[in-house]
Structure 1
Amino acid sequence: MSNKTRWLVIGGAAVVGVGLLSAQQTGALWTQSQTVDAGTIHSGVLDLSVGGNGLNSYPFTALAGANLMPGGYAQAPVKVYNSGNVLMKYRLLNGSQSNPAVPLDLTASIVPNEAACPATGSPAGATQLYSGPLIGAQFAERTVQPGATEVLCLRGTIGAAAAHSQSTTATFTFSAQSR
């Protein structure tokens, strides 16, 4: 047998060997598809303002109280204004305090207007959203139309276990989204 023939036989055997080895392995590809109904995409401006038309920050000093005793409270309205042009859904995500030695209870209600949330007394025509500890306070999602306002009446009540000669600052975190 000539050298050329030997090399052809060896090369052919190598190709057959590789073919046999690869035939012993299995492989599979799976595909899956799902048809989804076309959705609607809305665009616009979402802008949550507190306190008035177009405001982006609002110093809420009205809830402050001086020389309050356990059981005493401070109460004030907060306007939530949808200054955007799409439907807004907002909610209170969390309440926190700078000094937990002054335990505060929070009552959050919706009232018809700012006058319905007086500094003292019960709010008029109120729909309560939350009542409990200020720390960790949350309420469910609310809807405000574009250009509309909703008035919250917030009351912070000093707890019975409040330490003497202490002060605290309350912080409220809200979220807003459009749908």
Structure 2
Amino acid sequence: MSGYALGGPPPTTLGARLSRKTMLLSLMVLFIVGNALSALAPTYVVLMAGRFLSAYAHGAYFGVGSVVAAGLVEPRERAGAIALMFTGLTPANVVGVPLGTWIGQSYGRRATFWVVVAIGVAGLAGVLTLVPRRPRPDGGVLREPATFRSGGVWPALAMTVFGFAPVFAAGLLSRRLASA
């Protein structure tokens, strides 16, 4: 979870001059590499490095992805586009966590990571083919804080935090129960 929490600002800042599509592709590659590293890990330290890397990419991916989703639709449809993007987290936790646990118990932990790598490759192909390439707005990362002056941003952030905190908590609880 710490990689996820720490993963938002640094890649976003470092990639300020890149197009958002390039950012999404780069972050998806990091996610895939992190999970492949976890699948191949010969030691616990390497496994945790892979998990940290994939979580690190994931944290920034949802930030950039929500901006991309909002930019693809009319202004009055932006909240719905962002909500649709985040909708994938629910089935990922409700279906994916138990399925990943079953795969790991049936075929070994490495198999679970290889399945996630395959899903990541499919996601990479989706971003590559479906997300249009648009230049980054002038001002790069220096423009980003201006977003927080919008009155609608704070309620949306609060809904995301308080809406998905229980989802992540349920996922952690599910993992704890599965390993007990």
Structure having the larger proportion of residues in helix? 2
Structure having the larger proportion of residues in strand? 1
TM-score (norm 2): 0.24
**Which structure has the bigger radius of gyration?**
1
TM-score (norm 1): 0.24
